Amino acid sequence: MDPRFPARLDDPLAPAREATVEMLQQRRVQYSLPQPFYNDERLFQLDMQEIFEKEWLFAGMTCEIPNKGNYMTLEVGDNPVVIVRGNNGEVHAFHNVCRHRGSRLCVTDKGKVAKLVCPYHQWTYELDGRLLFAGSDMGKDFDLNAHGLKPVHVRTGGGYIFISLADEAPEIDGFLESLDHYLAPYDMDNVKVAVESSIIEECNWKLVIENNRECYHCNGSHPELLNSLQEFDDTDDPRATQAYKDLVARKQADWEAQGVPYKLTRLGRRNRLTRTPLLNGVESMTMNGKRASKKLMGTLQSADMGSLRILHLPNSWNHFMGDHAVVFRVLPLGPQKTLVTTKWLVHKNAAEGVDYDPAEMRRVWDATNDQDRRLAEENQRGINSKSYEPGPYSETFEFGVIDFVNWYSERMLENLDLSAPHLH
């Protein structure tokens, strides 16, 4: 921010900040949030500033930019970001904004370039963001070095790419180490995206995450998913039956013998990693429960890997089976509009049409995503009513939702406090 224009001096969101702090301090815990958190334009702006522009976000997979010059783009609210593989194989992230007059620089979702060239007046940047060329008539005093691309924090672990638009990024080392550990058997340098989908849900991003954090709705809505998924989250799930616990014990003994990580790891409320069995006899999240790719991932010897579930708040959940993985990314587009991107991963050497059929592989989660979209959109429509009031979460069925809302509330209060300390 240009110090001559201290935006906060005349922050149109100042009253909303104050109201948000008050609402969060007074909220009933274990209840859904007050209406403005789900539908108000100002609250949406605050979510973007305080959560999506400060926390670590799941952006994509390293396998999507395998070679130097490969890039991918995404938008974090109003902020275009480009992630590019540099000349020495390192991953860079920049604000995707030209330092001449601010044009968006890379305009496609993915691509491969030798240099980053602005489409407007062809200012040309090295893959590490340095400005190399700015036309011939910028004057002899023009300083190329002062006009490099603005960096975005970027870290990788277990094949995942995370970005943070914060000035100072929060800690993420522990989670990256966990990803490396849990995903070692998947050899994430040798995976590829088999197929991907992007859907827009007409609801607030928090309703997408809340919906994903419970399986209270699974019986009523997800016949395809329930061909494979256990509705229990883990043995610490209060509903877990003895039969489920016995199955877990048997599977864990198998995984232990194979040297495959499975134990539950939590890093605060933000991250959770655990391997949990699918239904007995089921190999993968497919319509018939059989593997969708003949070639198993990484160095795995068995398809019977259950599902390694990985949660990253605020914007990702994931399932790794023996034969394929499904990764999900959530990006808010507006107070009541959210982009959900799903990618199905397979071994790099699995051959489409021979080892796997992408249309078959995607069926369960296409159906599930569509069902969840409808649920979240109906949730939104009811919340928009003048009659809506926060309702109670079930501790037995909705502990994951409670965890998410607590994480969100804590992060909001802390980040609001850092940007406007006088509010506390």
Query: Which residue's CB is nearer to Fe ion, number 237 or number 372?
Result: 372
Residue with tokens 């999506």: 52
150 binds, among Fe ion, ligand 3BY, ligand FES, none (CB under 5 to 8 A by kind): none
273 binds, among Fe ion, ligand 3BY, ligand FES, none (CB under 5 to 8 A by kind): none
Select the span of 28-36, 117-125, 146-154, 164-172 touching ligand FES (CB under 6 A): 117-125
Residue with tokens 């400060």: 54
Query: Which residue's CB is nearer to ligand FES, number 95 or number 275?
Result: 95
Binder of ligand FES out of 27, 68, 100, 295 (CB under 6 A): 100
Query: Which residue's CB is nearer to ligand FES, number 96 or number 164?
Result: 96
Question: Residues binding ligand 3BY: what is the number (CB under 6 A)?
Answer: 5
366: Cβ contacts below 8 Å, ≥ 6 apart: 197
317 binds, among ligand 3BY, ligand FES, Fe ion, none (CB under 5 to 8 A by kind): ligand 3BY
Rounded Cα gap, residues 391 and 402, in angstroms = 12
Select the span of 100-108, 191-199, 287-295, 368-376 touching ligand FES (CB under 6 A): 100-108
Query: Which residue's CB is nearer to Fe ion, number 106 or number 364?
Result: 364
Binder of ligand FES out of 121, 239, 263, 290 (CB under 6 A): 121
- Side chain identity at 232, as an amino acid letter? F
387: Cβ contacts below 8 Å, ≥ 6 apart: none
Strands 307-312 and 70-76: unpaired
Strands 325-334 and 337-347: antiparallel
Rounded Cα gap, residues 58 and 341, in angstroms = 11
Query: Which residue's CB is nearer to ligand FES, number 100 or number 192?
Result: 100
Query: Which residue's CB is nearer to ligand 3BY, number 37 or number 317?
Result: 317
Edge-to-edge order in the sheet of strand 160-164: 57-61, 160-164, 153-157
Interaction residues for Fe ion, span 347-376 (CB under 5 A): 372
Tell me the closest approach of the beta carbon of residue 378 to ligand 3BY, in angstroms. Answer: 16
Strands 271-276 and 307-312: antiparallel
DSSP 362: T
Q: Which residues pair with 153 in a beta bridge?
A: 164
How many residues does the structure list for the chain? 424
Tell me the closest approach of the beta carbon of residue 237 to ligand 3BY, in angstroms. Answer: 10
Nearest position to Fe ion, beta carbon? 372
Sign of the torsion formed by the C-alpha atoms of 70, 198, 217 and 358: negative
- Is the Cβ–Cβ distance between 364 and 285 less than 8 Å? yes
Judged by the rule CB under 5 A, the positions of this chain that interact with Fe ion are 372
